Amino acid sequence: MDPNARPAQLDSPVVARIIKAGSRLNTRMYRLTRGKLGGTWRVGAALRKPTPVCLLTTIGRKSGQERTVPLLYLRDGDAIVVVASQGGLPKNPAWYHNVRAEPNVRIQTGGVDRPFRARIADAAERADLWPRLVELYADFDTYAAWTDREIPVVICEPAGRSPG
């Protein structure tokens, strides 16, 4: 595939509003049920292979307010790995920019909400993690084909643990 293969209707402002509303609803349901509702993604490649969802809370780089988004995630030891795919859009998602500005984040998995420190995977880490992420959710490869940007992989390590 190439970046031009991205379905144009996905870039509609209506679709963006629907996604934003769905994200807010998913976050509310996840929090209310401690991940029993909204804790797995069952769309696209995840239809037959449900993918785990976490809630990532960042500090808005402009607003200074907490911002929470539901994201697919991969466990890597004690770390949680998330992908700034934004469905293959040409720009990185807002949460990615928030993490770069303030790497201290919180992540909720199920009923557990803990502090983490986020960092962008370096080239070697990304090369190691990307196949595992695609195994988790095959659409990540589709999203990568839809954009010219290299989709960032973000490693979140438990707060207090040194990087590496």
pLDDT, tens only, 94-137: 999 999 999 999 999 999 999 999 999 999 999 999 999 999 99
Instruction: Kindly state the DSSP code that residue 108 receives in the 8-state scheme.
Output: E
**What is the structure's pLDDT at 37?**
86
pTM as predicted: 0.87
For residue 107, which amino acid is it? I
Top pLDDT among 34 and 45 is at: 34
Cα–Cα dist 53/107, whole Å: 10
Confidence of residue 3 (pLDDT cuts 50, 70, 90): very low
Identify the pLDDT of residue 42: 72
**154/113 Cα distance (integer angstroms):** 18
The per-residue pLDDT of the chain, averaged, comes to: 88
Q: Where exactly are the structural domains of the chain?
A: 3-158
Task: Please identify, in words, the CATH class of the domain defined by 3-158.
Answer: mainly beta
- What is d(CA 20, CA 22) in angstroms, rounded to the nearest whole number? 5
Q: Is the pLDDT of residue 80 over 50?
A: yes
Question: Which tokens is 124 given?
Answer: 């070697």
Strands 40-41 and 51-59: antiparallel
